[in-house]
Amino acid sequence: MKQILNILPMIVFFVFYNFYDIFVASGSLIFTSGFICILYWIIYHEIDKMNLFSFLTIVLFASLTIFFHDTRFIKWKITIIYIIFAIILFISQFFLKKTIMQRFLENDINISDVYWKKINFFWFLFFLGCSLLNIYIAFWCSEKTWVTFKVFGFTTLTFFLILITSIYINSKMLKKE
């Protein structure tokens, strides 16, 4: 259920973009993201920190896009989010006792710290690469290509990274047994 709620704003953005334009789609993104935060509160009696962070960045960049009638703001949003994620993962990799990935998942997954560091670094590289890929697609390809890739490309890439990470974790857990 949570995964469906998390991708709903992107789907609504894509639909409104295809029927109207990026400015209407940006407004729908603000509305849908806010609605998702409210639904989280109603269903789970809390607002997920990632959803709240996402909502606040969407409000900022989508509002700037609409107010200035400039698509560059909404195009930079995902790049900035991915760079922030990459920086957090990088800091946890080299300056904290446990990586961010380990802190989030260690209660459910029991693998060595060495493997957590590899997973964390791989996700760092992923977010860094996605931020660079977004810059390229956003500013050197058509707007329609960017919107389509933002919704379906990044979602697919993330799905494959989760799949690869799961396979890697399972292989390390099987070795441990």
Cα separations in angstroms, 108 against 104, 111, 115, 150: 9, 10, 15, 30
Terminal-residue alpha carbon distance, the chain: 32
pLDDT at 164 over 80: yes
Question: Where in the chain are the domains?
Answer: 2-176
Compute the C-alpha angle 103/90/33, nearest 5°.
Answer: 70
Give 55: exposed, middle or buried? Use CB within 10 Å, 0-12, 13-18, 19+: buried
Per-residue pLDDT tens digits for 14-39: 999 999 999 999 999 999 999 999 98
Q: Which two tokens stand for residue 118?
A: 């590899």
Q: Which two tokens stand for residue 154?
A: 């990044």
Lowest mean pLDDT across 67-71, 137-141, 173-177: 173-177
Q: Which two tokens stand for residue 158?
A: 């993330």
Model pLDDT, residue 177: 57
Cα separations in angstroms, 30 against 5, 67, 69, 71, 118: 14, 13, 15, 15, 35
- Percent with pLDDT over 90 in the chain: 70
Question: Among 39, 10, 5, 35, which residue's Cα sits nearest to residue 25?
Answer: 10
Model pLDDT, residue 83: 96
Task: Round to whole Å and give the CA distance between 151 and 17.
Answer: 11
